[in-house]
Each structure stands twice: as C-alpha cells, then as structure tokens.
Structure 1
Amino acid sequence: MPFPRGKKPTVIAGSKIPKLNGKVAEKQQEEGPQVKRSSSPPHGAPKKRTAFVDITNAHKVQICLPGRKKEPVKKTAKKTSSNSSSVSAKNQANLKKSSSVSSEGTTAEKEERKAGGEEEEAQRDAAAPVEELVAAAAPPAGRQLPAHLQRPQIPEEFDIDSGNVDDCCMTPEYAKEIFDYLKQREEKFVLRDYMPQQPSLNPGMRAILIDWLVEVQENFELNHETLYLAVKMTDHYLSLTPVNRENLQLIGSTTMLIASKFEERSPPCVDDFLYICDDAYQREELISMEAGILQTLGFDISIPIPYRFLRRYAKCVSAGMDTLTLARYVCEMSLQEMELVPERGSLLASACLLIALVTKDLGGWSPILRFHSGYQPADLAPVVRKLHAMLSAPPDDKLGAVRSKYSHKVFFEVASLPVVDIDILEKALSQ
C-alpha cells in the first residue's frame, strides 16, 4: 500500500522490517553511514541548472572574484578507520604530483590575474555604451515634455483629489484625466431622436420600458450604473435597428443582462431575467438577442453615463448625501424623457446638480464646478429649463416607479420636496 504523499511512513512497534542482505550491509559498513550520490548525470541526460546554491552545501562554496587568487578548500579528515587507508593513498599520489604542479603554479597565478584584469576592462567597456544611451535618452534640463504627455495643472483651490493620496483605489493622480477622457469619449455616443425611424414604437412605450427597468434594478438590488448603462445601450440599439413593439421588453431585459455582466460583481443569470418577463420569451431568444445587440453596437459598450459625472461634480462642492440624492432623483427621472436622450451625460449631470443645489439653497454654479465640468451657467440653461418642466408636470400613473422609489426614507423622501421656482433658477443661471 503506498504511503500518503508528503508524509513519511511511521514504524509501528512489532511490525516486521526486512533485513538487509549480508553483502549490502558489509558494503554500507565500509562506506560509512552516509553514501554519497554521484553528481554526474547519466549518459545523454541534460545538465541540471539550479537558480540558487544549495543551502546545505553553502559552506563548501567559494566565490571567486575577478583578479583574486583562489584559496584552496580545506578538507576535513574523515574519522572512520575504514576510509583512512584510501585517503592516505590519495595523499601520497598527490605528493608525487606536487613537484610538477609547483613549477607551473606561478604561471597559473599570472594567467589568472591577467584574465581577471581583462574581465574588469571588458565590463567597463560594456557599461560605457549603456551609460551613453541613458544620457542620450534623458531630456535636457530646459526641454519640456510634449503637450499630450504633460499632467494637467490643477490650481490648489480646485484640487479635490489630494485628500485621497493614501487610497490607491481612488487613483487621485489620474482622476482629472480620467473624467476629461470620459468627457471626450461621450462625443462618440451622442444620439439623436430616433423615433421617426421606429414605426412600431413611440416615446410613451419607451418611457414605460424605462419605468419597468427601474423596478428591475430595485428588485435585484443592482447598482445605479447598471440601470443607466442598460438605458444607454437600449437607446443606441433602437437608433440603429427598427424593432417591433413585441420585442421591446426583450430588448430591455437583454440590455440589463449585458449591463449587469459589465458592472456587477455577481450579475443575475439568464433564468432570472426570463422569470421577470413572466416567461414571455424563450432562453434561446434572449441569448440570440444578446448576441445581436453586441454585434450591432460593435461590442463597444463602455458608454459614459451621467451618473458617474454626477458623483464627481457633487464631490467638487462637498455636497451632502441628501443633496446628491435629490440630484440623482432628477437625473433618473430624465431617463424617461425622449427629449433629453440627445443630451450629453456630463451636461445632463451638471444641470441636475445645479437644480439640487438651488433647491437646497447651497449656491449656484461655482468656479470649482466650472473648472472640473468645463461648462458655464449659460451652457446649462437649456437643459435646466427642460428638467424644470419635467418636474413641474403632473405625475403619470403609469410611470410611478422613480417617484415611488425616491419617496422612501432611505432616499430622504426627495420626491416629495417642492419644485424650486423657475425665477430662482434663472437667477442662478445668470450669475
């Protein structure tokens, strides 16, 4: 029976241990308690190459530096009487050869010193070109880096990331550059009103779908980024492909599945989305729709969403959680408006935050917000007016998911707050 791997077999009292053969025992007595294995590999076998010196034999290793004479290794005499005769015979043979070796010792030492000196010179010659290349690659003291390699200069009064220096997950060194890149990237995903090319759909059907996706996000406890990304993918797909109204819910479920895979740590499975659709679609239909949406979008689903910009701009003014939640409520309500689909995410987030700041009487669009967002109050005016009209409109009974969600105490009941007067907003926009 083989022994378990990693464990040595234990000898049990009374067990039979096979005795050694007589010849083998005599041989072991002659050679001593330890038998030295041959270090030479078998014929035809590759040579072994170790990365580190064996620690057990470290006392036998001698490091030879260039230009230094090797010192002979002192050998310890064996104490066993059986090996003393063989050792003495070897010593006598070495004494006979010592006379011939001593005459050649001086020349060997000279050759060794000469070889060591040549090796040092070769090392210096090899290091010289490397030093010259490093010196040539280094830019002169007065020369500046190209514009695309220079870090953006942030004034001290506008620096909002220096407090996160110790947190590597926040990447404070690149935060400004990351959001500048997202702001440039959203130019690629600017949409237009695509309803004229959808004969089977209308803005009301789209609003009902978005309202249902809000319920899905809340029931599955998904991130808000997942909801916003699903809505963006739905709009981009509808802007490129005419669809029937019967497949509208299938498209929304599939985009939510894709967004969950993109944003969530543990996304819901396919069966979960089939269940929330009340088994109106087959598994093969959802998987086929997933492949079709990804191919239509060119697998480019990293779309900048307004929710990320909203959190970034709220940090600029150290907005409280209640103010940020109010801005999130306005931004989530805007997802249902077809009129706001063509607006850029950064501009929409800025307008939502301005409404929240004015509602909470926390000031207007301050200089630090102008610096990080790149928008002036005049740029926000058209979007702010559209959002105010949306909030002032009477609620629709068919579209109550967002209002019901933000009427909860967890969200500070921001949906029940009175809408700010338009004159106060106009005054903040004129500053």
Structure 2
Amino acid sequence: MACSRRTKERTPLPRERTPLPRNAKMLATKQTRAGKVGPTAENVDPEKEENCYAKRSSSSPQGGPKKRSAFGDITNARKNQVVAGKKESVKVAPPKAQKAQGTLGVAKNNEINLKKSMKKTPPKAPSEPEVDPVPEKPVPVQELKPPKERVPAVEDIDKEQLGDPYASAEYAKDIFEYMREREEKFMLPDYMEKQPDITGDMRAILVDWMVEVQENFELNHETLYLAVKLVDHYLVEVVSMREKLQLIGSTAILIASKFEERCPPCVDDFLYICDDAYKREELLAMEMSILSTLKFDINIPIPYRFLRRFAKCARATMETLTLARFLCEMTLQEYDYTRESPSKLAASCLLLALTMKNLGGWTPTLEYYSGYSAQDLHPLVKRLNFLLTYQPRDKLNTVRSKYSHRVFFEVAKLAPMDMLKLEKALTSC
C-alpha cells in the first residue's frame, strides 16, 4: 500500500484530466471564443501572430475588409427596405384572388401596404437627397492600403542621440532656447566712446594675441570665444588704460579656461606667456575684479555653440563647418561685429559657408531651429563676404595662418565669392 501510494504521488495527472474548478470550463470557453485563440496560444510566436492579423487579403479564408456605408449603418434604411419588401411579398394575394377582386381591390391593397411601409420606414431628413441604393462591390486590396506618410519639412535633429546620456538630446532644444533668451541680456553697446586710452585697433591686436594663446595651449574654441566676451563686457563697465589691456586679456582666458576646460592652465603659465610683465598678485586681483564686475554671471552666449547646433541642422560636413568657424573667428577681432547677436552671427556664417560650397540655401529645419529666415541673414552675409574679400587687417594674420593648416582643411585659402554671384545665389535660394 505504501508503494502504491508513493507511485500515485509521483505520477502526475495528465493535463486533460486535471480537475477544474466550478465554472472554469465555461470561463475558458468564453475566453477562447472572445480571443479566437486555440488551446496552444501560449506557444504561438508573437511575430507570426502579428503577421497573420496584419496581412489579410481578399482571398484569405477570413475575407478582406469591406467598405462601410455611413448612412446605411447609422439609419439602417437598407435593412428596413429589405424587411418591408419581404412582408409585402407575403401579404400579396394569389393571382386568382386578384382577378376576382378587380381593379378596386388592387388599389385598396396598394394603399394599405403603402401606409404600413410608411410607418415602418423612418422618415428621411428633408436635406438628405433620395438616392437609390447602389449594390456593394468587392473592393480591391490596393485601395485599402494606408497612404504613405509625408516626410515633414522640419527634421528632428535630436532624435538620433536620444539614447546617448552625454548628448542631453532631451533638453537640447530647451537649452538653446534659454541661450537665445540670454542673448538680450548680454548685448554689447558701443563702449569705445568712453574708453579714452583704448581703440578698436588695440582691441584687434589683443584678440589676435589671444587666438595665439589658445592655439599654443590647445584650448577649446569655446574658451577663446568666452574670453573675448569677458574682455568686452568688462570694458563696458570699467575704464582701463592700455598698459592693463594684456593683463585683462590673459586673465579673461584664465577665467574662461576654468569655466570650459577640464584641465585649465595654471596661473604661472599665464604669467609666463605675458613675459613676466605682471606679478602674480596683479593677475589674481584682476581675476577678482572681472568676476565681481560681471557679478559672477559668466555663462555668456557665444556664436560658436550656435554654429555647431546649426551645422547639425544642415547636416554639414566637417569641412563646411570648419569654413563657417573660420568666418566666425575672423569677426572676433573686428569691433564692428561685437554688437551682433551671437545666434544671428553664427547663422550668417553658416549660410555663407553653404553658399560658397554650393550646398543649397536655408532649409525649413534651419529656419525652425535658428529662428531666422534667409532674408534676415542676407545683409550680414554680405558683410562677412566683404570682410573675407578685402582683408582689412593684413598684419594680424593669426586666424588666417591657423586655418591655412591642413588640419583645418586649408579653408583660409578658399577664394571669396564675387559680390554679384553672391547676390544672385542669395536671391535664388
């Protein structure tokens, strides 16, 4: 008995003989009918199951989908007409009786049948035209295919980097909108009028030297642009002498390096590049003076960040982006371009680079992300081409020599566009 009992415990019951709870069979039957899935639905491949429902033709056993008549489904007018017709055919008298009744009996029966059909058939709205029902025809499968989706004019440029945690693609659009709002706060006035000892030419010499420092220390381009902005905003608030101009420039690079670089140069490095013209205490005192004057708000929008963003919108190559960077860096030492909006300056440099490369004009995607139309940029694009053509500062050639290197695709050696050809290209795009 013990052995037989153990055998019974070890031997599992067959699946089909497993006792079911009350009403379980009825529930299983209802679920099977509702979902139309057999008992082996758990083992069905989801891809095969999706394909068998997605691809259904008119020749399949289930039959193809049919068109729906809107008015017929809502009012059931066609069903009532069919029912009324059947009832009328049942109540019609045989031919012999009709002959016996004569003409008056036929007229009376028609009148009675007409009244009955009017009661059963709902009255139509006065605005609905009376149209004879058209028999349904089988619809070809080609007409039921969904229309092709149109490619949107504006492309989502951040979609490809949504999975990259370092790109911050989810917040990129909001970040650049925030930077566009901060542009208004950092617009520069004409501050040279209240600087008695500093001129625009002196500022150009300083910026040319700062470009050389950035190249020697191999700093980021964002560091250079931010340092130039710090110099300009400091000179708006403080009147300075020409002897302190290089100290202001070197200290601005030091502050920008701490803000942008992962490993910024130390104070001794900046004292060395200034040829020991200043002491360590003077450099630290100037750093405190710049930061306190600007109220430590040094996250200033720069054209270089907008340029990289807009180049991504245009899907520009590295060579085209480098050409636009060269044009933008040429404007750093020109005082006339300090009052331009950074985003507008970046957009104009990119548009000129695209035109010089014959790569098309301003696309809807660029207009959407930049906020500027092509007509808004035309005057500044012409000024940039004029700057590139006539080279007002031949002696200050640090930027040109930098971008004449093969590392930068030698973009500084490209010939500028003729003004008439540029005008024609801008009007055509």
TM tier relative to shorter chain: 0.5 to 0.7
Deviations, residues 287-338 of structure 1 (Å, cap 9, x unaligned): 0000000011010000010000000000011100000000000000000111
Q: Which residue of 1 aligns with 2:181?
A: 184
- Aligned partner (choices 284, 288, 300) of residue 287 of structure 1: 284
Q: Identity of aligned pairs, percent?
A: 63
The answer on whether the counterparts of 1:365 and 1:428 sit within 8 Å (CA) in structure 2 is: no
User: How far 1:157 sits from its partner (Å)?
Assistant: 3.9
Deviations, residues 177-207 of structure 1 (Å, cap 9, x unaligned): 1111111111100002211111101110000
- Aligned partner (choices 257, 260, 266) of residue 257 of structure 2: 260
Find the aligned partners of 1:157 and 1:340 in 2 and give their Cα distance: 30
Find the aligned partners of 1:424 and 1:233 in 2 and give their Cα distance: 38
Find the aligned partners of 2:395 and 2:227 in 1 and give their Cα distance: 21
Find the aligned partners of 1:170 and 1:409 in 2 and give their Cα distance: 29
User: How far 1:364 sits from its partner (Å)?
Assistant: 1.0
- Aligned partner (choices 310, 323, 327) of residue 326 of structure 1: 323
Deviations, residues 110-150 of structure 1 (Å, cap 9, x unaligned): xxxxxxxxxxxxxxxxxxxxxxxxxxxxxxxxxxxxxxxxx
Indicate whether 1:379 and 2:385 are aligned: no
Q: Which residue of 2 aligns with 1:359?
A: 356
User: How far 1:344 sits from its partner (Å)?
Assistant: 0.8
Q: Which residue of 2 aligns with 1:310?
A: 307
Deviates more, 1:169-178 or 1:208-217: 169-178
Find the aligned partners of 1:373 and 1:427 in 2 and give their Cα distance: 23
Give the 3-state SS of the residue equivalent to 2:185 in structure 1: helix
User: How far 1:156 sits from its partner (Å)?
Assistant: 7.5
Structure 1 counterpart of 2:254, one-letter code: L
Q: 1:381 to 1:157 in 2, by over 3 A?
A: closer
Q: Which residue of 2 aligns with 1:36?
A: none
Indicate whether 1:222 and 2:227 are aligned: no
Structure 2 counterpart of 1:176, one-letter code: K
User: How far 1:425 sits from its partner (Å)?
Assistant: 2.7
Structure 2 counterpart of 1:191, one-letter code: L
Structure 1 counterpart of 2:158, one-letter code: D
Deviations, residues 350-408 of structure 1 (Å, cap 9, x unaligned): 00001100011001111111010000112112211221121111363430100000000
Q: Which residue of 1 aligns with 2:163?
A: 166
- Aligned partner (choices 195, 200, 217) of residue 203 of structure 1: 200
Find the aligned partners of 1:424 and 1:187 in 2 and give their Cα distance: 34
Q: Which residue of 1 aligns with 2:416?
A: 419
Q: Which residue of 2 aligns with 1:237?
A: 234
The answer on whether the counterparts of 1:208 and 1:398 sit within 8 Å (CA) in structure 2 is: no
Find the aligned partners of 2:334 and 2:282 in 1 and give their Cα distance: 29
Deviations, residues 152-177 of structure 1 (Å, cap 9, x unaligned): xxx67420111112101111111111
Q: Which residue of 2 aligns with 1:335?
A: 332
Give the 3-state SS of the residue equivalent to 1:303 in structure 2: coil
Find the aligned partners of 1:251 and 1:337 in 2 and give their Cα distance: 18
Unaligned 5+ segments in structure 2 are 1-151
Give the structure-2-normalised TM-score: 0.63
Q: Which residue of 2 aligns with 1:5?
A: none
Residues 15-414 of structure 1: pairs in structure 2 closer than 5 A? 157-394=154-391, 396-414=393-411
Unaligned 5+ segments in structure 1 are 1-154
The answer on whether the counterparts of 1:358 and 1:424 sit within 8 Å (CA) in structure 2 is: no
Find the aligned partners of 1:239 and 1:207 in 2 and give their Cα distance: 16
Structure 2 counterpart of 1:209, one-letter code: L
Structure 2 counterpart of 1:367, one-letter code: P
Deviations, residues 222-255 of structure 1 (Å, cap 9, x unaligned): 0000000000010000111110000000000000
Deviations, residues 28-51 of structure 1 (Å, cap 9, x unaligned): xxxxxxxxxxxxxxxxxxxxxxxx
Find the aligned partners of 1:163 and 1:394 in 2 and give their Cα distance: 40
Find the aligned partners of 2:262 and 2:297 in 1 and give their Cα distance: 20
The answer on whether the counterparts of 2:153 and 2:365 sit within 8 Å (CA) in structure 1 is: no
The answer on whether the counterparts of 2:189 and 2:339 sit within 8 Å (CA) in structure 1 is: yes
Find the aligned partners of 2:176 and 2:223 in 1 and give their Cα distance: 19
Find the aligned partners of 1:187 and 1:428 in 2 and give their Cα distance: 31
The answer on whether the counterparts of 1:316 and 1:368 sit within 8 Å (CA) in structure 2 is: yes
Q: Tell me how large the CA RMSD over aligned residues is.
A: 1.4
